[in-house]
Every structure is written in C-alpha cells, then in structure tokens.
Amino acid sequence: MTAVPQREVVSYFALIPAAGVGARMGAAGPKQYLPLAGKPMLRHTLQAFLDCAAIAHVYVVVSAADGYIDDVVADCGKRVTVLRCGGATRMESIRNGLRALDAHGEDRILVHDAARPGLTPALIDKLIGEAGANPAGGLLALRVVDTVKSTRTGRVETTPRDGLWLAQTPQMFPYELLLRALEQAPDPEAITDDASAVEMLGLSPQLVEGHPRNLKVTLPADVGIATLYLTHEHL
C-alpha cells in the first residue's frame, strides 16, 4: 500500500512592524509607545495575539536603535521575539522581518499595525476562521457606509460607495506568497498595504468584516477614541 503523504501543518504567526516614528502624531517619541489606558499602545496590540490560542508566535520588528521595546515585552514570555531589523519604510520592515522569522511556505503570516491597539482575539479568530484556508490570503476590512466625496477633478463629486471597503489589519497571507509579492512588486510606491502587493500578482485576497474598534491611531484625536474602546470592552 502506498503511503499517503501527510499534509503540512500550517502555523499562524503574527508579524508587527513597529519601526516607525509616527510623525503625524507630533509626539515626543514613537507613537506605538504612547500610553493608552495604562499601558504602551504596542503592549495592547501584543496582548491581543498573546490571548489568541491560534497564534503560535509573535514577531515584532523594530529599529536597531529602539530603546523602548525591551520594557514592553519584558513580561510577554517566550511567545514574543523582537527582530531588530526595521527598515526605512513599513514595507522594508515587513520584508526584513519575513526573512528573519522561522516560518515555512504555507504558514500564515498575520501582519498587523502596531498602532491598532483595539484588536481583539475574537477578530483574529474570525479572520483565521473565514480566510485561513484561502490561498490568496485575507484581511479585516470595514464596509464604507458614509457618502463618499471626491475632489480629484478639481470639483466636489459623489463617488458610489457600493463595493467600497476600508482596509484594516491583520492582513494574513501564506509566508511564501507574501514574501514573493513584496520582493517582486514592480512599483513599491504603489503598495499602500500588504494586500495591494498580493493583488499585483493577480490574486484577490478575501475581505473579512472587521470592527471600528480596530482603528489605526494616526492623529492626536485618535488617542481618545482608542482609549474609549480599550476601557469599554462592550463597545
């Protein structure tokens, strides 16, 4: 009898690029370390993955000179590895991180913004449950519900919102696919998120309904909104 080859076990890894300086926040230091609800912002982000049983390991990519990260991960245990290979851009940090982490071809990599502290284990489980088997990967996103206006032509025009989504993170892809997409991107400037690099290969990642609490803290006003979600779990 011919032996049936065993299917490769797929593991799920989180990759958090955290080498940015957060210039638009106008803060004294990198925004991912700003205090929110009693903890650094990045610590909230890490905790969502640590509390999710499906995540085998969490990798954080920081700059070589980062002087904050050791304190943030001091009590995270062995499930977190700090990679001091951050680049000048988010894409470069992710690419460097992918080359450094211990993953295999079909393992799923969940890339998540350090400045999205409102992520929950339930949202991670939802993404894995709905898109984990999709060979093109998937990402959390929100349907556009407001009326959309455009000024591209020099005048105000209404753009149909049907079929429009706002991309969130995590964005999850097979390891080899994501690395290939980032390395082969013909126009790095056109890559606005990881999914856009995969789309350039002719693939269509799956959209999974996210939640407003998973907002990205970009401007000073976002701090209050994120704090509200973090201190009111029922929202």
Q: What are 226-235's pLDDT values in tens digits? A: 999 999 877 7
Q: Is the pLDDT of residue 214 over 60?
A: yes
Report, as an integer, the average pLDDT of 186-210.
Answer: 92
Q: Write down the pLDDT at residue 20.
A: 76
- pLDDT band for position 169 (50/70/90)? very high
Q: Beta-carbon neighbour count of residue 162 at 10 Å?
A: 7
**What's the burial of 85, exposed, middle or buried (CB within 10 Å: 0-12/13-18/19+)?**
middle
Q: Write down the pLDDT at residue 28.
A: 60
What 8-state DSSP symbol labels residue 150? E
Report the percentage of the chain scoring pLDDT > 90.
83
CA neighbor of 18 nearest in space, from 73, 57, 75, 56: 73
Q: Quick check: pTM over 0.85?
A: yes
Report, as an integer, the average pLDDT of 121-142.
Answer: 98
Average pLDDT, the chain: 92
Q: Is the pLDDT of residue 25 over 90?
A: no
Q: Is the pLDDT of residue 190 over 90?
A: no
Alpha carbons 219 and 70: distance in angstroms, whole number: 26
- pLDDT band for position 189 (50/70/90)? confident
SS3 61: strand
Q: Write down the pLDDT at residue 40.
A: 96
* Span of 28-32, 95-99, 219-223 with lowest mean pLDDT: 28-32
What 8-state DSSP symbol labels residue 202? T
Output 9 or 73, whichever has higher pLDDT: 73
Q: Name the residue with tokens 């009590």.
A: 75
Alpha carbon distances (Å) from 200 to 81, 99, 137, 175, 189: 30, 21, 14, 16, 12
What's the gap between Cα 173 and its chain centre? 11
Alpha carbon distances (Å) from 144 to 24, 127, 151, 218, 228: 24, 19, 18, 19, 22
* Domain spans in the chain, listed from the N-terminal domain onward: 12-231
CA dihedral 190, 193, 194, 198 (to 10 degrees): -50
Q: Write down the pLDDT at residue 141.
A: 98
Report, as an integer, the average pLDDT of 1-29.
Answer: 70
Report, as an integer, the average pLDDT of 108-114.
Answer: 98
Find the angle CA(25)-CA(31)-CA(32) to the nearest 5 degrees. 150
Q: In sequence order, what are the beta bridge partners of 81? A: 59
CATH of domain 12-231: 3.90.550.10
Q: Is the pLDDT of residue 6 over 50?
A: no
Alpha carbons 103 and 64: distance in angstroms, whole number: 22
Alpha carbons 89 and 101: distance in angstroms, whole number: 18
The set of residues, in sequence order, having a beta carbon less than 8 Å from that of 2 and lying 6+ positions away, is: none
Q: Write down the pLDDT at residue 4.
A: 44
CB of 166 within 8 A of CB of 142? yes
CB of 99 within 8 A of CB of 5? no
Report, as an integer, the average pLDDT of 130-145.
Answer: 98
